[in-house]
Chain A
């Protein structure tokens, strides 16, 4: 027990005295959450638009006011001629131009049909589609209100209801993803690098020629990272709840337990990597390419798994982060309990046991096999 404590204390010294590592460990989660929360959002807010109103009647005024009043758009320019449209896009001043034809209200009232043209800058396809949809729905709302004044038979009204995330906040998506990424990075990368460093420095040789159980040498190195990763989970959750107004609808205890399970999975992967490598660079490379990349690509927080080719969907099953992402979303956002995520939990548990088993079996009590 004394040996165990000495090892853990020593490991904490290593971490606490290495300012860069320390900054990396606690700065990274904060920066990631802030970045994704405020800078890298794919929500549209206050997109700059221009209006070309050739009718200037009661209806167009009403529509323009509504567009400007919505939080999605800010009208920064009023155009007077068709040929101005091209040049405002060229200068990149606006994302969308709304064009009302002449006699807009008259045609609407008398012929029952008129047109609005929405011209969007499609160099960024996602944004273009999204803001065009927003504008269209504002116009549709106006139309619906006009219809209410008349009696018209047969109307189909489409009512959208966004479950679990009514405001379509992107934070709901990336917080679980960032959590998976950071835990993977800290637990797997840091642990493997820390163990391999002992091999590189030659201290591993001395520790092997000692009464210490060789496996204990390795496991004690993982303990501090377990603690630090867990502290990070709590920091991420606090930031998400306070800054990003993310709810924790399900049980907090269950959420923390599942995070702990995923930390164990990552640590097991870190131990596995360290058993296969002899230099810090290789360990870092394998962790980044072999673990981080799949975590980002296959967990589903950046790219929906359902849209991937079948073969990639199958591969994604082998990525632990995918299951963790699923679990965190279910607990935090949907507020579900263990009865809804026992399958994912079991898969993660199985993976952890498997990785830990292979790492232990591969562990050498000597310098080479």
Chain B
């Protein structure tokens, strides 16, 4: 049995407006760390809300642990953990009060499941008597995760848990997720950060309410299929226009301080591009073939 199964889910909020979800389907295996990667407005939150029984789909069906999200919502609510994107806890309650409250709501105690949250909670325990509102962004997320875990959920839904969190805390957060996965918890996590995709077992790339691709991060990269070149010169802005103007260019987009290009023909000699750029009076030109990452794949799939 799949931990989560989504079949052709359609959801629109207002008649006539574009649909938020346009027929999504995918499965998540038990014990998997599954990532939903996509920009803001792709439909990630809507999907999570349907799976956590907070919203009804217009059509299609979904099951969590074999239970229907519409019919069996009461059972699902007992079995899953959910951390919404804007979840901010009770700011005027202390760390300890927050976690005790959520433990009681889920019919358990902190002591009973302490082993589950130990690694995470230990980091914030020194601030036990501090109000949640006075915690840093990273610590807030750790507390929120502890609260979502306290009842030992079988499936954990994390909606953009690392948005607005600093790089160090993000890294720590993903390490925690890996540990939780090792304890057998199925985790669905959404994120707008492409670089986090490689930390998942499998990812679904989502855009405009549809799934562009589902695969392992390696699989997605392998499917890229074309040689990818990174190009830089002294005039980065003019370079973009010049590269796009060349007939052989298939795609070209800015990527940090370089531009990533693919060519229409895989065996097109790259020297010709080099000479073309020289003729355009670019200086200190560097062209090298690189391994594509998830963002390159995302850009390619969006075409």
Contact = CB atoms under 8 A, between A and B. Distances in A.
Contacts of B54: 205, 208-209, 366-367
Contacts of B2: none
Contacts of A13: 92-93, 97
- Categorize the interface residue count of chain B: 20 to 34
B244 interface: no
- Categorize the interface residue count of chain A: 20 to 34
Interface in B110-149: 147-148
Nearest to A203: B90
Contacts of A365: 73
B208 to A, nearest CB: 21
Nearest to A6: B104
A201 interface: yes
Contacts of B82: 205-206, 209
B253 to A, nearest CB: 35
Interface in A1-22: 2-3, 6-7, 10, 13-14, 17-18
A215 to B, nearest CB: 13
A3 B109 CA distance: 11
Contacts of A160: none
Interface in B37-57: 49, 52-56
A111 interface: no
Given A209-B53, A210-B77, A3 B105 contact: yes
Nearest to A369: B56
A111 B252 CA distance: 117
Which of B77, B85, B86, B97 has the largest count of A CB atoms less than 10 A from its CB? B77
Contacts of A153: none
Majority secondary structure, A binding face: helix
Nearest to B87: A202
B55 A368 contact: yes
A205 B80 CA distance: 13
A10 B86 CA distance: 20
A206 B98 CA distance: 12
A365 B54 CA distance: 8
B297 interface: no
B101 interface: yes
Contact of A212 (B83, B91, B105): B105
B90 A207 contact: no
Contact of A205 (B87, B93, B100, B101): B87
A3 B104 contact: yes
Nearest to A13: B93
B20 to A, nearest CB: 12
Given A205-B54, A367-B54, A14 B90 contact: yes
A211 interface: yes
A201 B54 CA distance: 16
Nearest to B91: A201
A18 B93 CA distance: 11
A10 B55 contact: no
A18 B92 contact: yes
A7 B90 CA distance: 12
B107 interface: yes
A341 B229 CA distance: 88
Contact of B92 (A17, A205, A368): A17
A202 B88 contact: yes
B78 interface: yes
B89 interface: yes
Given A209-B80, A212-B105, 18 more contacts: A6-B100, A14-B92, A18-B92, A202-B84, A202-B87, A205-B84, A205-B87, A206-B87, A206-B102, A206-B148, A208-B53, A208-B54, A209-B52, A209-B77, A210-B105, A211-B78, A366-B55, A366-B73
6 contacts: A10-B97, A13-B97, A208-B53, A209-B54, A211-B105, A366-B53
